[in-house]
Structure 1
Amino acid sequence: MRGSAHDERPTRFAMLLLSLLVLGGASGFATTDIGELVANIAASAVLLAGMASLYHNRILLLIGCVLLVPALATRWTFFWLQGSALAPVSILFSLLFTVFNAGALFLYIQRRGSPTNDTVYGGICVYILLGYCFALVFMLLEVLSPGSFAYTHEVPVGIAQIESDLIYYSFVTLTTVGFGDITPLTPPAKSLTMIESVVGPMFVAVFIARLVGIRTSR
């Protein structure tokens, strides 16, 4: 009974959704010093809100803590020291937590019964987290193998610019808009782009079909 009472909180995923939207807006301005600071604060808020969304399960919460601490520590250590060797480590820990967060939320939503505002917010969060997961993978690929992507504009310099461009590229791919101003060059980049362009519409179709199916069956 105590768990079900917690599940009815309407703001369960609202804060995570809000922080994800703020991060999306802030990432476009991360090319300046102030913008980079704001983007780091927004990214940290996403990690903390993602952690808060796991409170319904103590085991998930414990695993989340184990992943969250190094993700936050390496992100801010890199921000202050700007050591190139720390970049892939910071990206990797953020990726691990984001993948875990998205997977945990997806399983929680799938196990719920009738759809509520809470589960709808959660589904939107999972969809946006998918975009950030792919963005982090693209960033890791570009850092470890520079030149994995071609740009019609000036080539980004520094992690902040790479992050800004590849978050944009990831969501353009996830939504199948495909403006073409950033192009994958290497086989891994092409394969990951293809996978994301399939996963995005498929998730939306399956999620909406599930909501409609449950609604009509009741």
Structure 2
Amino acid sequence: MYNHSLLRIIFFKKNNRFLVLLFSLILFFAIYPIVENSLVATLVLNLFFMLIIFSGVIAISDTRRPLLISLGLALLAVVFRWTHYFYQFDLWLILEHSSNTLFWTYIAVRMLKFILSQSNITAELIYAAVAVYFIFGLAWASIYQVIEISNPSSFSMSNAEASTQNFIFQMWYFSMVTLTTLGYGDISPVTMTARVFVVLEAIMGQFYLAVLIASLIGRRIAQGK
């Protein structure tokens, strides 16, 4: 019984790790507006945040080194997030989002290495590629939040409430809109620093899609031969 359960866990980790991460990311984005104005919103979101952090660690933990590095960065992100939950100071919020940026950047780099190392197109590869796109959005959103907290009014928001949770969601929303270059215009960068980072994210988003699509097409052609 024990060996059977262990094999199931290993199989789950190796074959569905990116699917679990992708599902966690989508669920996190989807549930945010639902719990945004409830009394337990912050607690629920923090728990879901820990879920995607754990999923990210599992997704890249093929060997000991990335496991230890990702666990260390995850610990920082979780500690700073819960510290800010109990002590509402801007310093803890800046440290939280800075650690988030480091963690998600490392996860994205490791996943990109996996994507580029695969010679065949598989479901696992597709899940990883889509998950990285969402991770880009999270990482850039954290950068924008650090910019706004450090220099208030760096972004102009036409219809944003003053609550911290709403502000965080606004930055995630803006990050994904920028990444896809939709540009609705309801949120816009004002300061030079904010504009530079917004341009960099837009370039990254388009470059990633172009390279990814070209890579997938090339591999599909190679598979067909």
The two structures have a TM-score, normalised by structure 2, of 0.88
Structure 1 segments unaligned to the other structure (5+ residues):
none
**SS class of match (2:16):** coil
Q: 1:7 to 1:58 in 2, by over 3 A?
A: farther
Give the equivalent residue in structure 2 for 1:165. 170
**SS class of match (2:156):** strand
Amino-acid identity (%)? 27
* Distance in structure 2 (CA, Å) of the matches to 1:85 and 1:58: 32
Amino acid corresponding to residue 157 of structure 1 in structure 2:
A
Q: CA offset at residue 131 of structure 1?
A: 0.8
Amino acid corresponding to residue 83 of structure 1 in structure 2:
F
Q: 1:214 to 1:9 in 2, by over 3 A?
A: same
Matched, 1:34 2:51: no
The two structures have a TM-score, normalised by structure 1, of 0.91
Q: Is the 8 A contact 2:90 2:149 kept in 1?
A: no
- What are the within-5 Å matches in structure 2 for residues 131-142 of structure 1? 131-142=137-148
Q: Is the 8 A contact 2:22 2:127 kept in 1?
A: yes
* Distance in structure 2 (CA, Å) of the matches to 1:78 and 1:123: 32
Give the equivalent residue in structure 2 for 1:64. 70
Amino acid corresponding to residue 29 of structure 2 in structure 1:
G
Q: 1:195 to 1:130 in 2, by over 3 A?
A: same
Matched, 1:122 2:128: yes
Amino acid corresponding to residue 205 of structure 1 in structure 2:
A
Amino acid corresponding to residue 55 of structure 1 in structure 2:
S
Q: CA offset at residue 65 of structure 1?
A: 1.2
Amino acid corresponding to residue 151 of structure 1 in structure 2:
M
Amino acid corresponding to residue 76 of structure 1 in structure 2:
W
* Distance in structure 2 (CA, Å) of the matches to 1:9 and 1:211: 21
Q: CA offset at residue 38 of structure 1?
A: 2.3
Give the equivalent residue in structure 1 for 2:95. 89
Structure 2 segments unaligned to the other structure (5+ residues):
1-9
The structure showing larger relative contact order (alpha-carbon pairs under 8 Å, at least 6 residues apart) is 1
Give the equivalent residue in structure 1 for 2:212. 207
**SS class of match (2:188):** strand
Q: CA offset at residue 126 of structure 1?
A: 0.7
* Distance in structure 2 (CA, Å) of the matches to 1:100 and 1:8: 19
Per-residue Cα deviation, 1:64-117 (whole angstroms, up to 9, x for no partner): 111111111111121122233211011111111111111111111111221210
Moved over 4 A (4+): 5-8
Q: 1:8 to 1:182 in 2, by over 3 A?
A: closer
Give the equivalent residue in structure 1 for 2:30. 25
**SS class of match (1:127):** helix
Specify which structure has the higher proportion of helix. Answer: 2
Q: How many residues align?
A: 213
Q: Report the aligned-residue RMSD.
A: 1.9
Amino acid corresponding to residue 117 of structure 2 in structure 1:
R
Counterpart selection for 1:77 from 76, 83, 97: 83
Amino acid corresponding to residue 201 of structure 1 in structure 2:
Q
Q: Is the 8 A contact 1:6 1:56 kept in 2?
A: no
